[in-house]
Amino acid sequence: MKKIGFLSFGHWTPSPQSQARSAADVLLQSIDLAMEAERLGMDGAYFRVHHFAQQLASPFPLLAAVGAKTRKIEIGTAVIDMRYENPHYMVEDAGAADLISGGRLQLGISRGSPEQVIDGWRYFGYRPTKGEDDADMGRRHAEEFLELLRGKGFAKPNPRPMFPNPPGLLRLEPYSAGLRDRIWWGSASNATAVWAAKLGMNLQSSTLKFDETGEPLHIQQAAQIRAFRAAWKEAGHKRTPRTSVSRSIFPLLDDRDRRYFGRGSRVEEDKIGFLDENTRAIFGRSYAAEPGILVEQLRNDEAIAEADTLLLTIPNQLGVAYNAHVMEAILTTVAPALGWH
């Protein structure tokens, strides 16, 4: 494991028990949390994107703001649902955010997960073409986005433009060199991991995966990462790809930790659920224990050992100070024993 970042879903609720009671709270606290993570030496600040929900939804204003307030930490998403995206507009937004951050953007994209409303992408003006389903549409949007990120001109210039044009066909601006190599695909299956490798995207494997073998999640994810790397090698890409897994990990250091996450001696197991009537999925367990016990548990997680990046899902509604405490506890009491430094 080379890098550790946090992943926030950006929930808010007006409940008095929540430290994030509005969208403004979540957005401003997300910036503060990224600044705290950078101060602590964490490698990445990542944010989830969900539409029609009291969660983070429009990532690029937030990513740009975080980029302006930080200097070193990687800034990313896990993941943007491409069924909702206009690839052309997204290239412009992503290029601007990446330039503001000095080339630190790590964009996780995906075909998306079950949403709050039925076919929510239809309200954004998108429809699958004939013979497509919504997953095909999301992958089509992703491929178009990747092609546009190459910066190749494609638009015929106006012979009487308002401003002088460079010679040849025009590309979208602002263009950020290198961003194409920092796109990740959030994959829930072995097949889409292989597809992502062929297209030259990095791999994000989350706390959920299609249950393809009946084995524990960490074993299935480790196999998925190996399949991704094999496909990458076969495709002949020159650079080394990156891979990540997400986990909920809480060292129990004080009474507050035990009150929030202590569960006595009970050990959590993976959970099985259905994303729809035909898709069986396996969901990862949470880890919560004293640091010494956590280290031993995490050493047995094959996917963490296989990936180069670990994303820590955080309880953002507990506030910036508490989440900074959790991150510091992991970085100082757990991560060094797993090879991070």
Using CA atoms, how far apart are residues 74 and 248, in angstroms rounded to an integer?
20
Average pLDDT of the residues in 36-52: 97
At 249-292, the pLDDT tens digits run 999 999 999 999 997 545 678 888 887 777 889 988 899 999 99
Q: pLDDT tier at 115 (50, 70, 90 boundaries)?
A: confident
**Per-residue pLDDT at 264:** 54
Which is more confident, 266 or 108? 108
Give the DSSP letter string of 287-329. EEE-HHHHHHHHHT-HHHHH-SEEEEE--GGG-HHHHHHHHHH
Confidence check: pLDDT of 160 > 50: yes
pTM: 0.95
Average pLDDT of the residues in 303-325: 97
Using the Cα atoms of residue 124, residue 129, residue 132 and residue 137 in order, give the sign of their dihedral. Answer: negative
Using CA atoms, how far apart are residues 340 and 301, in angstroms rounded to an integer?
15
Determine if the peptide bond prior to 241 is cis (ω within 30°).
no
